[in-house]
Structure 1
Amino acid sequence: MTTHQQDAPLLRQRKGDVEWLIFNRPRVRNALSSDMEQALFEAVKAIAQDGSAKAVVFTGMRGEKPAFMAGADMGALAKAADPEEAIAIEREAETLIVAIEALRIPTVAAMAGACVGQGALLASACDVRIAAPSLRFGFPIARTVGNCLSLMNYARLISMLGEAATKEMIFSARLLGADDLLATRSIRAIVADDEIDDRAQEVAEALTRLAPLTLWATRQALLRLRDHGVPSDGDDDILTACYGSRDMQEAISAFLAKREPQWLGR
């Protein structure tokens, strides 16, 4: 692997019939940058067009500590005070998640360490998830950024965790561990950090030996049932109310200054 490839925000590896997409910003716990988001979208599109892979594994490059994806870069959120920018951020993120859900082959999330915000949404879009004991999954936005999710993303989380668990996660502003997700059957197994790559490959290879049309049809049917009744433009008001708020700008400033935000509810 060349130095240029090692420095790329996303790495691709092929292991037999399984394509691996590896988030590669370990110094910032693989936080999603615009470059990584674009690279992910292009890679997913290329996998769909090529058609030779029979499964995809998503995971994060390990730094000093393991991390799947620690949310999005805070710099991008700092620009979201403008209502149009807030909507654009959500819609662009939705484009990537929809592309993952539209793949005709099974997808696996191998999660360790931080799996927060955009990382948690990406994992929720995968068909199968496995987790290391180090996993910390969720959306602590009620104590960190003060924004909200789109209706589609709330629907994804409810589909994965259930409504009560989703609400408890947001209202407690805590990150869930692997045991929490196993209790909701959101993950298939808990695997040691140093074994998770091997297990992810095993799980992906097992999926490639099953009837591909059955797996694809099941995913698409469940997505249609999940998305039934979710309006495509029914959340602009709640998104702009949060993203354009004084609270969110204060929260970003507080995060960067490493202090507690002062919430005013406006």
Structure 2
Amino acid sequence: MPSSNAGSVDWGINESVATVTLNRPGARNALTWEMYQALVDACGKAEADPTVRVLIIRGSGGAFSAGTDISQFADFVDGHDGTAYERRLDAVIDRIEGLTVATIAEVDGVAAGGGCAMAMACDLRICSDRARFGVPIAKTLGNCLSMANTARMVDLIGPARTRELLLTGRLVDAREALAAGLATAVVPSNELLQETAKMAAELSTRARSTIIATKKLLARLRDHRRPPPGIADDIISECYGSPDFKEGVKAFLDGRKPTFP
């Protein structure tokens, strides 16, 4: 359990299924740097244990994750800080996406920003009917996604829907997420744990070699399509150095809605 407002990433294991719980419910599991590092450590722990066949990532308190804790952007000086942040976030999301064990995002409530990226990086997304997905930064923060996270969204829901969601900052509900291919399955909230456990148990009986090979093949295909790292650094730096981003962070810290110049 968390001992402070910094939150925690809690680890559990039941036979061949490991569970990681994002535990900062008072902030809708908004992620601190420490939580991101703990998530990377948990991925390493899952991969190092030969008994683990499936990793479930879930949130506590009725939310998956609202993304990165915006207060951590308060010390950013210029766009280079934004570029460094996006690289750091990419490394975390890449670690989840690159796991050789099967991964399930159990999504109850909001999965926004970095939380949405985490869910997209998992192999499957089992959702409650209360789930909501999106990246509302056009309304809230005035920054942008990395090229890799933009590509993940395009891969899952296509370029037209990605464009609409990023430009409007709209969140999609569980039903729309299922229709778009963002959600694997949607169940009533009181059945979510059971449905996730059922899927995890099913995956844990499948051939490990097939799962590993399939994930590697998909990764190779993905890497072939995606541009090399750093190709969008100029765009990211300009966005994070903009008056819009400064206003978004200040508005959050002031507890008000931003007024973008």
Alignment of 1:34-45 (within 5 A): 34-45=33-44
Q: Which position in structure 1 is the counterpart of 2:88? A: 92
Q: Which position in structure 1 is the counterpart of 2:236? A: 239
- What amino acid maps onto 1:234 in structure 2? I
Tell me the CA shift for residue 129 of structure 1: 0.6
- What amino acid maps onto 2:103 in structure 1? T
1:71 and 2:67 aligned: yes
Q: Which position in structure 2 is the counterpart of 1:57? A: 56
1:176 and 2:175 aligned: no
Tell me the CA shift for residue 104 of structure 1: 1.0
- What amino acid maps onto 2:244 in structure 1? D
Partners of 1:139 and 1:154 in 2: how far apart?
A: 10
Tell me the CA shift for residue 3 of structure 1: 7.8
1:124 and 2:120 aligned: yes
Kindly provide the CA deviation profile for residues 186-235 of structure 1, in whole angstroms up to 9, marking residues without a partner as x.
Answer: 22211121221121111111111112222222222222222324121101
Give percent identity, aligned residues only. 36
4+ residue segments displaced more than 3 Å:
2-5
Q: After the TM superposition, which of the residue ranges 188-197 and 238-247 deviates more from structure 2? A: 188-197
1:162 and 2:158 aligned: yes
What TM-score, normalized by structure 1, do the two folds share? Answer: 0.92
Q: Which position in structure 2 is the counterpart of 1:28? A: 27
In structure 2, list runs of 5 or more residues that go unmatched.
Answer: none
Q: Which position in structure 2 is the counterpart of 1:248? A: 245
Tell me the CA shift for residue 8 of structure 1: 5.7
Kindly provide the CA deviation profile for residues 140-181 of structure 1, in whole angstroms up to 9, marking residues without a partner as x.
Answer: 111110100111111111111111111111122110111111
Tell me the CA shift for residue 99 of structure 1: 1.3
Partners of 2:24 and 2:40 in 1: how far apart?
A: 16
Partners of 1:15 and 1:137 in 2: how far apart?
A: 28
Kindly provide the CA deviation profile for residues 20-60 of structure 1, in whole angstroms up to 9, marking residues without a partner as x.
Answer: 00000011111101111111111111211222201000000
Q: After the TM superposition, which of the residue ranges 155-164 and 74-83 deviates more from structure 2? A: 74-83
What TM-score, normalized by structure 2, do the two folds share? Answer: 0.93
In structure 1, list runs of 5 or more residues that go unmatched.
Answer: none
